[in-house]
Structure 1
Amino acid sequence: MSLRPTVDFLLNDWLHVESLNQRERFADHSRETFDAVLDTCERIAREKYAPFNRVVDTQEPHFDGEKVILPQATHDAQKAYAESGMLSAAQDYEVGGMQLPYTVEAAANAFFAMASVSIGSGMLTTGNANLLMAHGTDAQKRVFALNEFSGRFSGTMCLSEPQAGSSLSDVATRAVPDGPDFQSDPLGPRYRLKGNKMWISAGEHELTENIIHLVLAKIPDENGRLVPGTRGISLFIVPKKIVNPAGELTGERNDVALAGLNHKCGWRGTTNTLLNFGEGRFPVKGEAGAVGYLVGQAGKGLHCMFHMMNEARIGVGMAATMLGMAGYHASLDYAKNRPQGRPMGPAGKDPAQPPVRIIEHADVKRMLLAQKAYCEGALALELYCARLVDEQHTADATTADDARLLLEVLTPIAKSWPSEWCLEANSLAIQIHGGYGYTRDFPVEQYWRDNRLNMIHEGTHGIQAMDLLGRKVLMEGGKGLSLLAGRINDTIQRAIHIPEFAAHANALGQALAQVGAATKAAWATGEPTDALANAVPYLQAFGHTVLAWIWLDVALAAHAAAESPARAGRLAAMRFFFHYELPKIGAWLQVVSSRDQTCAALPEEAF
């Protein structure tokens, strides 16, 4: 079973991505060039990634005392990815890019995520370089970003610290000016950093010539103290190896040291590290302190870093989606070929009859259809968000601003919903395999392990929930939420006139009204502690409403297509979502609307 027909349908029949070619930036492209990019990525994923997914899971990265060792397959895959040009796919021609729509780039990267998310592709490197293109100086773009886009350097993001976790206001890494001439360095104001960073993906390896760390650190106040809270948090480029203004390695190592490798449940093919900055193991010019170059303005580090974090959140959503999709395809293939049991009814009572394939059992069909609804719906959501990125960057001013606000509201859903429900799809894939699914003889247990990370990294489920209910639905007077409601109502109006969709359109309208009422009820007292006590159930209900909308909109495109098994499958997945999933929002929104304090008010002694 191939992913490609689903991608082609969503891009061409639903999102009409070829219409973007009417915009000046994409004028050189056509359906043929888009297909050629997808063909190339599908082939590389099939040849360089998929065959080695189990290899990188069993041959974990290890430190030999000098360097981190990764399987040769990882080196080969990363080289092929860099040579494909995908690291700079959406960039300008002038910097070696292809000026592809981000929608096409996201779709192309889906093949790599499905083939082996553990090997990884270039999400952090591209995000790192994109941030520098938006906030860096000309020299920083030339020396760091362009070398990342070419695959010569790779990139990381260094936010979390062992004592602080996701609480960025508790960052304790310190950055002080490096000498009286610190302002005159060609690569930007030069500082010395000291501190520790945890959970740094791809923080140490030999895959590229250099690793470019983007590090959040606090600049002390005039008294030399770190101010509590987010004041003073700034963003710095900290290369593993020192480079000169021409981008050449000087041969000197920066004071960045590997303190340890984290041994993970999944994503084992990607190194995850604890890094020490400025401990003095590799002194630069005889002094301890990692050399870093300020990005943007001092004290504005979080503003810059959120540029990368929002990209990464959509990337995490796509990774979760494609892991779910990989499990769905594996369990569908298994169900079609595994004979077991006999049908219900008189025919099934004859033990002489041969067993039927398990796909003929109603409950197995339920589990398969749930996976299809979760994963194909999530893929549609991620591509819709990618299309909003293109609107934000290339549409007229009003359309672009609407896209910006819609992305603000949808980003917590794009990250969190697939992380929860495509993980559930992986659990169902194991269930379909029965006992075999719980063994390493089949790939579905690895897909589940790999996917379990996605509810945690780039902002946990709880953080996404508080971001949605505490900030995104309220920002700019609730305009983003109103815009989303308008899009949903447009779909309802188109669907309600089609007899087979009318009941679903009405159900979606009722769900939207429930979400709106619950939003107001949650904030009725104006107290964040009341409103946010049940932020996660709100996130779940909001996400399910968004996915019901996405499915109904996709179903409208499917309805217009010719009769085919794929069309029947899409319409069935939509019906499944409305019949089995959307009704769940009532229970979630009940605790939100009543501002239920069962959890929040319970004293710890009661546990």
Structure 2
Amino acid sequence: MSLRNTLSFLLYDWLQVEQLSQRARYADHSRETFEAVFDTCERIAVEKYAPFNRLVDTQEPHFDGEKVVLPQATYEARKAYAESGMLSAAQDYELGGMQLPFVVDSAANTFFAKASISIGSNMLTTGNANLLMAHGTALQKQVFAHNEFNGRFTGTMCLSEPQAGSSLSDVATRAEPDGPDYEADPLGPRYRLRGNKMWISSGDHELSENIVHLVLAKVPDANGKLVPGVKGISLFVVPKKMVDTQGQLTGERNDVVLAGLNHKLGWRGTTNTLLNFGEGKYPVRGAAGAIGYRVGNVGDGLRCMFHMMNEARIAIGMAATMLGFAGYEASLEYAKNRPQGRPLGAGGKDAAAPQVPIIAHADVRRMLLAQKAYTEGALALNLLAARLVDEQHTGDAPSAAEAQLLLEVLTPIAKSWPSEWCLEANSLAIQIHGGYGYTRDFPVEQYWRDNRLNMIHEGTHGIQANDLLGRKVRMQDGAGLKLLTQRMKATAEQAKQWPALADFAGQLTQAWDQVLHTTALAWQWNDANRSLANAVPYMQAFGHVVLAWIWLDVVCAVQTRSDAQLDAAAQGRMACAQFFFHYELPKIGAWLQVVQTGDTTFVDLIEEGF
């Protein structure tokens, strides 16, 4: 099944996305307008992205002493993307947007992610602008966000530091008021920033007129000391080049300096940088220190930044999914055309018989179906998350509140599960290619290298697991967990009406009961260290049950639209569900066991023992 056909089923038959056109915001849209957007995105992806995926991997960004140099193909791809209107696709008409549902916007961007995640679809730019639209002043929105939506500017998020990494409480970048009139600047309270930021994707390039950095920094207290912990963090918009209140460049560089490029395993086409803020190389208005304009209140930085981080986490889940999907398509094509070996008959192999394509062999078919189950299931999960965003913004009050609560619980899974299991799909794609898969003559090794990043950035696996077990399932007295339980039970009840799905319904209910039981047991020791020691196995089990629920819900839609004689696509989806329940769901027992017992083997081992 092609990506386009898979999207069509998931959007229209499963998620009933056409019904969104009945809402005022999307009244101008229909299936025809959605398909027109997909036509445009698929065409650009095929013409401007896919042919250059290997090129941007081998011709890495480099610094020539003045600027970062990228292949011309990257410029052409970004230009085509910006001109398509996709940067502002989900925004209001007044901003030049299309007012597309976010779920359709997300689906449209899958074409670019699958064609070349390394060239990218500018997710940081739209996320940056969306944060400013939610938390910025009117002028910050006009000057920075609007120009990101129209393609003039690009955006980043600057969180990590060389000494801090994911530990944001240890951020040491300082932001000091710039003069006695600092609060009078029309672009927002004006500060001078000094510090270093690490792992900044798209931190420096010449792809746009300007780069808008969103920077986490701490404002010193009255004694000149930084407030410890995350409560001391504030957020600042720091442009690479200074602008006026009309968004025009003033001709002056801000004191933001590229200190180096990181050379990565994958995503090589995207620049990744170390940036120095305020080192004095480009004095602004006669003084050192990068000019930044505060967004929100002092100490409110992390809350504001989570608006972008949560959006990015869902986008990373989709990126991982599409890399898995690309690897699946490549290995399926290879398996259909690579002759090798002969099938086993009653008397063994017939050496005189002609060779068969390797798709005839059982182990290859196992690996193909696993990839299909992982990638299509992950795609459904991430489209559901995007659909919940639409419900949160345009549903009635009760529906919006439920969507927000359910999205809170599912976000760690939407990011982490595809990052782990679509990476495994890429590994299986290499295995199907055999020795060829380990060479650069075939694309699957690059897909694996690109995908390996996704378990790390926008919050590592461990961070997502701690968030899930330590906060999300416990917040509001477990309200999100109770809501998810209701949704799973509803799917199980629906599935029972079809004999082919009845057993799956029982398995899902039993598996989820195990998760709920384990959730309660995980906190029995009143010791957070012990409870969270096995947060990752907990998240793996939780995620697997969520994906079992997703697959059961999807095949309920298959049964609803199909007659007794299922077509090939429907048979494929039914096989995915069967594979997941037979081969994947049983894995949760081992994961949950260590959580239930509070096993601390690796915690208790003395350091020298490692």
Partner of 2:578: 575
Partner of 2:15: 15
Partner of 1:272: 272
1:167 aligned onto 2:167: yes
Q: How does 1:206-245 map to 2 (within 5 A)?
A: 206-245=206-245
CA displacement, residues 226-273 of structure 1 (integer Å, 9 cap, x when unaligned): 122123210000000000011110000000000000000000000000
Question: Which residue identity lines up with residue 609 of structure 2 in the other structure?
Answer: A
Partner of 1:586: 589
SS at 1:391's partner residue?
helix
CA–CA separation in structure 1 for the residues paired with 2:498 and 2:606: 53
Partner of 1:521: 521
Contact 1:240–1:254 (CA<8 Å) still a contact in 2? yes
In structure 2, which of residues 570, 594, 604 is the aligned counterpart of residue 601 of structure 1? Answer: 604
CA–CA separation in structure 2 for the residues paired with 1:166 and 1:417: 20
CA–CA separation in structure 1 for the residues paired with 2:350 and 2:97: 65
Which deviates more, 23-32 or 367-376?
23-32
Structure 2 unaligned regions, length at least 5:
none
- The Cα of 1:345 is off from its aligned counterpart by 1.6
Partner of 1:564: 567
Question: Which residue identity lines up with residue 341 of structure 2 in the other structure?
Answer: G
CA displacement, residues 456-489 of structure 1 (integer Å, 9 cap, x when unaligned): 0000000000000000000011000100010000
Partner of 1:539: 539
1:56 aligned onto 2:56: yes
CA displacement, residues 134-176 of structure 1 (integer Å, 9 cap, x when unaligned): 0000000000000000010000000000000000000000000
- The Cα of 1:497 is off from its aligned counterpart by 2.4
- The Cα of 1:121 is off from its aligned counterpart by 1.1
Contact 1:87–1:151 (CA<8 Å) still a contact in 2? yes
SS at 1:600's partner residue?
helix
Question: Which residue identity lines up with residue 22 of structure 2 in the other structure?
Answer: Q
CA–CA separation in structure 2 for the residues paired with 1:116 and 1:199: 20
SS at 1:568's partner residue?
helix
Partner of 1:45: 45
TM-score (norm 1): 0.99
CA–CA separation in structure 2 for the residues paired with 1:23 and 1:528: 45
Question: Which residue identity lines up with residue 121 of structure 2 in the other structure?
Answer: S
SS at 2:280's partner residue?
coil
CA displacement, residues 63-119 of structure 1 (integer Å, 9 cap, x when unaligned): 000000000000000000001111111111111111100000000001100000000
CA–CA separation in structure 1 for the residues paired with 2:424 and 2:323: 11
Contact 1:210–1:241 (CA<8 Å) still a contact in 2? yes
Partner of 1:355: 355
CA–CA separation in structure 2 for the residues paired with 1:19 and 1:156: 34
TM-score (norm 2): 0.99
SS at 1:231's partner residue?
helix
Identity %: 75
- The Cα of 1:347 is off from its aligned counterpart by 6.9
CA–CA separation in structure 1 for the residues paired with 2:496 and 2:445: 41
SS at 1:284's partner residue?
coil
Q: How does 1:435-584 map to 2 (within 5 A)?
A: 435-562=435-562, 563-584=566-587
Question: Which residue identity lines up with residue 369 of structure 2 in the other structure?
Answer: L
CA displacement, residues 160-206 of structure 1 (integer Å, 9 cap, x when unaligned): 00000000000000000001110111100000000000000000000
- The Cα of 1:349 is off from its aligned counterpart by 2.6
- The Cα of 1:388 is off from its aligned counterpart by 0.2
CA–CA separation in structure 2 for the residues paired with 1:601 and 1:296: 43
Question: Which residue identity lines up with residue 583 of structure 1 in the other structure?
Answer: P
CA–CA separation in structure 1 for the residues paired with 2:415 and 2:2: 24
Partner of 1:394: 394
CA–CA separation in structure 2 for the residues paired with 1:12 and 1:73: 34
Contact 1:45–1:112 (CA<8 Å) still a contact in 2? yes
CA–CA separation in structure 1 for the residues paired with 2:608 and 2:559: 56
SS at 1:401's partner residue?
helix
Structure 1 unaligned regions, length at least 5:
none
Deviation beyond 6 Å, 4+ runs, structure 1? none
CA–CA separation in structure 1 for the residues paired with 2:350 and 2:527: 65
CA–CA separation in structure 2 for the residues paired with 1:513 and 1:602: 32
SS at 2:230's partner residue?
coil
CA–CA separation in structure 2 for the residues paired with 1:108 and 1:517: 39
Question: Which residue identity lines up with residue 569 of structure 1 in the other structure?
Answer: G
CA–CA separation in structure 1 for the residues paired with 2:209 and 2:257: 16
Contact 1:60–1:70 (CA<8 Å) still a contact in 2? yes
SS at 2:250's partner residue?
strand
CA–CA separation in structure 1 for the residues paired with 2:561 and 2:30: 22
Question: Which residue identity lines up with residue 606 of structure 1 in the other structure?
Answer: G
Partner of 1:70: 70
Taking only aligned residues, the RMSD between alpha carbons, in angstroms, comes to 0.8
CA displacement, residues 286-310 of structure 1 (integer Å, 9 cap, x when unaligned): 1110000000111100000000000
CA–CA separation in structure 2 for the residues paired with 1:274 and 1:375: 33
Partner of 1:421: 421
CA–CA separation in structure 2 for the residues paired with 1:38 and 1:600: 50
Partner of 2:285: 285
- The Cα of 1:561 is off from its aligned counterpart by 2.9
Question: Which residue identity lines up with residue 600 of structure 1 in the other structure?
Answer: V
CA–CA separation in structure 2 for the residues paired with 1:219 and 1:198: 20
Question: Which residue identity lines up with residue 272 of structure 1 in the other structure?
Answer: N
Contact 1:409–1:473 (CA<8 Å) still a contact in 2? yes
SS at 2:426's partner residue?
helix
CA–CA separation in structure 2 for the residues paired with 1:413 and 1:346: 45
Question: Which residue identity lines up with residue 98 of structure 1 in the other structure?
Answer: M
Contact 1:342–1:348 (CA<8 Å) still a contact in 2? no
Q: How does 1:233-382 map to 2 (within 5 A)?
A: 233-346=233-346, 349-382=349-382
CA displacement, residues 380-436 of structure 1 (integer Å, 9 cap, x when unaligned): 000000000000000011110111110100000000000000000000000000000
Partner of 2:136: 136
CA–CA separation in structure 1 for the residues paired with 2:310 and 2:337: 41
SS at 1:282's partner residue?
coil
SS at 1:343's partner residue?
coil
CA–CA separation in structure 2 for the residues paired with 1:231 and 1:416: 26
Q: How many correspondences in the alignment?
A: 607
Contact 1:561–1:567 (CA<8 Å) still a contact in 2? no
Question: Which residue identity lines up with residue 445 of structure 2 in the other structure?
Answer: E
CA–CA separation in structure 2 for the residues paired with 1:128 and 1:600: 39
- The Cα of 1:348 is off from its aligned counterpart by 5.4
CA–CA separation in structure 1 for the residues paired with 2:347 and 2:182: 84
- The Cα of 1:346 is off from its aligned counterpart by 4.2
Question: Which residue identity lines up with residue 332 of structure 1 in the other structure?
Answer: L
Q: How does 1:143-182 map to 2 (within 5 A)?
A: 143-182=143-182
Partner of 2:193: 193
SS at 1:275's partner residue?
strand
SS at 2:561's partner residue?
coil
Which deviates more, 496-505 or 63-72?
496-505
SS at 2:231's partner residue?
coil
CA–CA separation in structure 2 for the residues paired with 1:246 and 1:447: 42
Specify whether residues 85 and 347 from structure 1 end up closer, same or farther in structure 2 by C-alpha distance, changes over 3 A only. Answer: farther
CA–CA separation in structure 1 for the residues paired with 2:361 and 2:215: 53
